[in-house]
């Protein structure tokens, strides 16, 4: 086994991947390490946030946190440390959410439920048309990952397998596409 390990240049253990990342700053090493535990991170976030979209966003944000924190911390057990990092990230999000509050309006404040419903349907129809136009303006790779992620409900790992892009590239394409769509929708709003 020792001979096999020395022949291979690809690190296998968490410690080797962390060391490779710290030594070279290689995001490939970090992505490979993070992918091992992405289901754990997603499950933890889903448990605390109770929202699959918020959990997916948290998974991406935690990866970004890792880029800085892993360089500055001495980590013995990556899995346990990552679990605590994910839990703390979610608790901070929940704490932030408590600071904001919403006001619920009663039905008598609304003009007429029938008209508001019709306005809502027409507004959504216009939004969908704008969104279709904005989708056409995206780069091909962004269109591809947006289609897979949002319309076909594929997770990052499935998109990686299907497209051949690395995990970090998929995450970047999704974030950039979402930002570009938001900007385009606001311009055409």
Which domains, ranges and CATH numbers included, belong to the chain? 7-99 (1.10.1740.10), 113-187 (1.10.10.10)
Cα separation, 147 vs 152, whole angstroms? 6
Token reading at 6: 């020395």
pTM of the model: 0.48
- pLDDT attached to residue 103: 58
The single-letter DSSP state of residue 37 is T
Higher per-residue pLDDT: 154 or 125: 154
- Range with the poorest average pLDDT among 73-82, 110-119, 150-159, 161-170: 110-119
- pLDDT attached to residue 146: 85
The answer on pLDDT for 117 being more than 60 is: no
Task: Please give the average per-residue pLDDT across 103-126, as a whole number.
Answer: 56
- pLDDT attached to residue 174: 86
Token reading at 122: 């027409």
Cα separation, 21 vs 168, whole angstroms? 14
Reported as a pLDDT band with limits 50, 70 and 90, residue 9 is low
- Reading phi first (left if > 0) and then psi (alpha if -120 to 50, else beta), residue 137 is in alpha
- pLDDT attached to residue 112: 47
Token reading at 181: 């769509």
Query: Nearest-CA neighbor of 42 among 145, 157, 170, 137?
Result: 157
- pLDDT attached to residue 175: 87
Residue reference for tokens 């904001």: 100
Q: What is the CA radius of gyration of the chain?
A: 21
Higher per-residue pLDDT: 49 or 181: 49
**End-to-end CA distance of the chain, in Å?**
62
Contact between 45 and 54 under an 8 Å Cβ cutoff? The reply is: yes
* All residues at 6 or more sequence positions from 163 whose CB lies less than 8 Å from its CB, including other chains: 141, 144, 145, 148, 170
- pLDDT attached to residue 124: 72
């Amino acid at each position: 086994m020792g001979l096999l390990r020395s022949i291979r240049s690809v690190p296998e253990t968490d410690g080797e991947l962390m060391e490779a990342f710290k030594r070279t700053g290689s995001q490939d090493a970090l992505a490979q390490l993070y992918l091992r535990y992405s289901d754990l991170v997603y499950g933890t976030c889903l448990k605390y946030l109770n929202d699959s979209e918020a959990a997916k966003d948290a998974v991406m944000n935690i990866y970004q946190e890792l880029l800085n924190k892993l360089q500055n911390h001495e980590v013995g057990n990556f899995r346990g440390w990552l679990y605590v990092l994910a839990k703390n990230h979610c608790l901070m999000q929940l704490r932030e959410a408590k600071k904001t509050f919403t006001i619920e309006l009663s039905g008598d404040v609304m003009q007429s439920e029938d008209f508001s419903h019709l306005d809502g349907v027409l507004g959504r129809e216009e939004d969908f048309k704008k969104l279709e136009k904005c989708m056409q303006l995206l780069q091909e790779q962004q269109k591809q990952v947006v289609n897979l992620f949002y319309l076909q409900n594929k997770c990052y790992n499935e998109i990686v397998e299907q497209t051949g892009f690395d995990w970090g590239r998929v995450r970047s394409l999704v974030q950039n596409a979402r930002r570009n769509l938001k900007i385009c929708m606001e311009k055409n709003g």
